[in-house]
């Protein structure tokens, strides 16, 4: 399904629309980036910029205006302007290009690895969500469980339709994930059973056709529509707080951390089974929808269990080699 291009209103509105369309043709999702571009569009309108190109004065003014934003937010917004200014320069050589962002790249986001106990508490908490008897409790039980065992991106999970779940083959299909990559994700037998149970529960709520969302919202004003990330994230934060998972951490764990946990659990499982992890990493990269292994490595964190496994392997190999001498 083609994403709708946001509406821009400044003198560069057409150029911005063409730019977003171009990036999506290249295979990028560009939804979050388009939102960042809208802030710049709004700024241009407020400054009464009436040119169809950029000049240094207006760009410098926007750089100064973003100084009040948080480091991550500022970096993201200026990064998009840099790419857009380069795009515009191709068609209007006199248009100014933002080369230096004058702000440091923020550090990689922190991550939290959920324990099996954490997940058990969250799933129990999901069953208590109100209103009682609504789809909400089933929905969040399924969402948390699915993210935990598959490592799907939250956006990919929320974009699922009922038709994307193939219970006969035991898989689900991800349409146009990040970087436009599509893929099948195989479901373990226990996961498939949970999915089938949820689908039976889901059919009692409208809309229920094969082309309807897998995850529905039950909010009064938006009942029957696709569950939004903002709603899912807010509810999840409340669940984390109620379960006490955020007590010993500086920042509360996120939904996205379930993806980190899934990757590490997969790695640990291979260690436990004595598999050659290096040869398995391309499989993990494919399952997670990454374009290369380097992207997957961001999600692989050293844990005490992994260190223990690595030490045991070293000990076995060292002992074997010593016996052969």
- Identify the CA nearest to 36 among candidates 4, 15, 60, 8: 8
CA dist 151 and 323 (Å) reads 42
SS3 for 159-226 is CCEHHHEECCCCEEEECCCHHHCCEEEECCHHHHHHHHHHHHHHCCCCCCCCCCECCECCCCCCCCCE
Counted residue by residue, the chain has a size of 325
User: Which residue is it, tokens 């990454």?
Assistant: 290
pLDDT tens digits, 55-68:
999 999 999 999 98
Structure tokens at 59: 């760009």
Q: Is residue 225 exposed (0-12), middle (13-18) or buried (19+ Cβ within 10 Å)? A: middle
- pLDDT on residue 247: 81
Bridge partner list, 172: 165, 185
- pLDDT on residue 308: 54
Provide the residue ranges of all domains of the chain, joining segments of one domain with +.
13-91, 117-243, 257-323
- pLDDT on residue 291: 56
- pLDDT on residue 189: 95
User: Which residue is it, tokens 């260690």?
Assistant: 271
End-to-end distance of the chain based on CA atoms, in angstroms?
Answer: 63
Task: Return the half-sphere exposure (C-beta side, CA atoms, 13 A cut-off) of residue 279.
Answer: 3
Bridging pattern class, strands 171-174 and 183-186: antiparallel
Domain 117-243 carries which CATH code?
Answer: 1.10.443.10
Kindly calculate the radius of gyration of the chain based on its CA atoms and give it in whole angstroms: 23
Q: Which residues of the chain have pLDDT under 50?
A: 1, 304, 307, 310-311, 313-325
User: Which residue is it, tokens 């440091």?
Assistant: 104
- pLDDT on residue 176: 64
- pLDDT on residue 219: 65
pLDDT tens digits, 217-248:
876 556 678 999 989 999 999 999 999 998 87
How much is the pTM?
0.66
- pLDDT on residue 313: 46
CA dist 36 and 41 (Å) reads 9
């Amino acid at each position: 399904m083609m994403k709708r291009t946001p509406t821009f209103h400044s003198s560069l509105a057409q150029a911005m629309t063409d730019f977003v369309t171009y990036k999506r043709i290249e295979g990028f999702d560009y939804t979050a980036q388009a939102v960042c571009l809208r802030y710049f569009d709004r700024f241009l309108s407020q400054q009464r910029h009436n040119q169809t190109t950029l000049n240094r004065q207006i760009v410098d003014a926007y750089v100064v205006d973003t100084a009040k934003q948080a480091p991550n937010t500022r970096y993201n917004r200026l990064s998009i302007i840099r790419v857009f200014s380069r795009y515009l320069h191709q068609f209007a050589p006199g248009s100014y290009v933002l080369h230096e962002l004058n702000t440091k790249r923020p550090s990689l986001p922190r991550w939290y690895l959920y324990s099996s106990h954490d997940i058990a508490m969250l799933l129990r908490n999901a069953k208590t969500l109100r209103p009682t008897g609504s789809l909400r409790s089933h929905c969040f039980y399924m969402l948390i469980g699915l993210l935990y065992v598959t490592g799907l991106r939250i956006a990919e999970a929320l974009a699922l339709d009922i038709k994307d779940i193939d219970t006969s083959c035991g898989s689900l299909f991800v349409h146009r994930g990040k970087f436009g990559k599509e893929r099948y994700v195989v479901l373990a037998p226990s996961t498939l059973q949970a999915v089938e149970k949820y689908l039976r529960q889901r059919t009692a709520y409208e809309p229920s056709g094969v082309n309807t969302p897998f995850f529905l919202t039950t909010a009064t004003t938006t009942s029957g529509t696709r569950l939004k990330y903002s709603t899912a994230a807010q509810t999840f934060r409340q669940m984390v707080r109620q379960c006490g998972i955020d007590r010993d951490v500086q920042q509360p764990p996120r939904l996205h951390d379930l993806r980190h946990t899934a990757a590490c659990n997969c790695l640990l499982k291979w260690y436990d089974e004595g598999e050659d992890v290096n040869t398995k990493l391309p499989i993990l990269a494919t399952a997670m929808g990454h374009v290369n292994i380097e992207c997957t490595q961001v999600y692989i964190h050293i844990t005490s269990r992994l260190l223990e496994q690595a030490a045991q392997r070293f000990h076995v190999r060292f002992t074997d080699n010593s016996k052969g001498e």
